[in-house]
Amino acid sequence: MELELHVVLFELRRVPVSALLRVVLSPRAATNPCETLDAWLPRMDAARATFSTPFDGAVAAAADADRLGWAFVAGYDAALHALDDGLAIRGLRTSFAVTEEGGGHPKALAARLAPDAAGTLRLTGTKRFVTLGTVADVLLVVAGRGEPRDGRTELVVLRVDAKAPGVTVAALPETPFAPEVPHAVVTFTDVAVGPGDVLPGDGWARWVKPFRTVEDLHVAGAALGYLAGAAARGAWSSTYRSELVATLCSARALAAEDASDPAVHVAVAGLFDALHRLAEHPDARWTSLPAAESARWTRDRALLSVASRVRALRLDAAWAALGT
């Protein structure tokens, strides 16, 4: 697994960034509106097919989007592949199911994996707000296993077929921003789990914590890709576009780093500060784009502030770990 990760990082550094920048800087014909997720997913796959890394593919796809919601989908999907090349199975839609009724903290996770009388591992529990859960083929589920030790339950990540017996997926109401991105409540009732579907390593330290940083970087990169595409189509100022792609290069470099490194967390905080400044440019610029796209941007840009509290806590912990 470590060898696979090194191969991914090598590929990221080997591919010239100029190839990606040419895509996001090139003026394009007005993007055809993409109204549904079913229409966006194959278009996203086609846009990123020529890029060898998840980050570059997500940015290229987002530059071809007509709304921030589709950029988020590209970034989220890329993050799953970037966390580990074998985590998300290529060709299958994958969702990470962590949060429960009490939140996403380890102590709030009540889903459990335990053997039945015949020795078969069974998963029971409910996950709330599973992003893209309604279209997922595979669910990566965080669950507790065994008896607590020192007040802490061992957490594992399970790969579960979304259509397996005992899995129930219920769509949640649309969110106020990026309503095209679906979320779901997923219930697991004595779902059989094969030993090979229990991912190696600690579920929290190996998978959930790094994914939060990896997701932030890939979603930020995709958001920058979307803004770059909009700026190219709207012929926005060269100064703005230069700053935007410079920030994109920073995100790309950070995506190749260790997602658990406190120094990287400090840099990610700076990246999001820059992204917010770029996102707050005058709304008047959006008049150069279709009115419907401008309205969607006004509605959806709050998406960039989701999980800001978590990022702030992570930044405080990073500074503390660095002794500052």
User: CA geometry: angle at 34 spanning 30 and 35, to 5°?
Assistant: 135
- Among the candidates 168, 198, 228, a domain finishes at 198
- Among the candidates 167, 198, 229, a domain finishes at 198
CATH number at residue 193: 2.40.110.10
| Residues 210, 313 share a domain | yes
| Residues 122, 169 share a domain | yes
- The CA distances from residue 214 to 81, 162, 164, 185, 252, in Å, are 10, 23, 28, 23, 11
pLDDT at 285: 85
Q: Are 97 and 161 a contacting pair, CB within 8 Å?
A: no
- Say if strands 183-193 and 112-115 run parallel, antiparallel, or are unpaired: unpaired
| Residues 134, 165 share a domain | yes
Domain residue limits at 223: 2-86+206-321
Could you list the pLDDT tens digit for every one of the 324 residues in the chain?
443 444 444 444 456 899 999 999 987 755 678 999 999 999 999 988 889 899 999 999 999 999 999 999 999 999 999 987 666 666 789 999 999 999 999 999 999 999 999 999 999 999 999 999 999 999 999 999 987 777 688 999 999 999 999 999 999 999 999 999 999 999 999 999 999 999 999 999 999 999 999 999 999 999 999 999 999 999 999 999 999 999 999 999 999 999 999 999 999 999 999 999 999 866 678 889 999 999 999 999 999 999 999 999 999 999 999 997
What count of other Cβ atoms lies within 10 Å of the Cβ of residue 94? Answer: 20
Structural domains of the chain, count: 2
| Residues 193, 126 share a domain | yes
Alpha helix segments (H runs only) across the chain = 2-14, 17-25, 37-48, 54-63, 68-83, 209-234, 238-254, 262-279, 291-300, 308-321
Instruction: Report the distance separating Cα 218 and Cα 275, nearest Å.
Output: 13
- Among the candidates 198, 220, 244, a domain finishes at 198
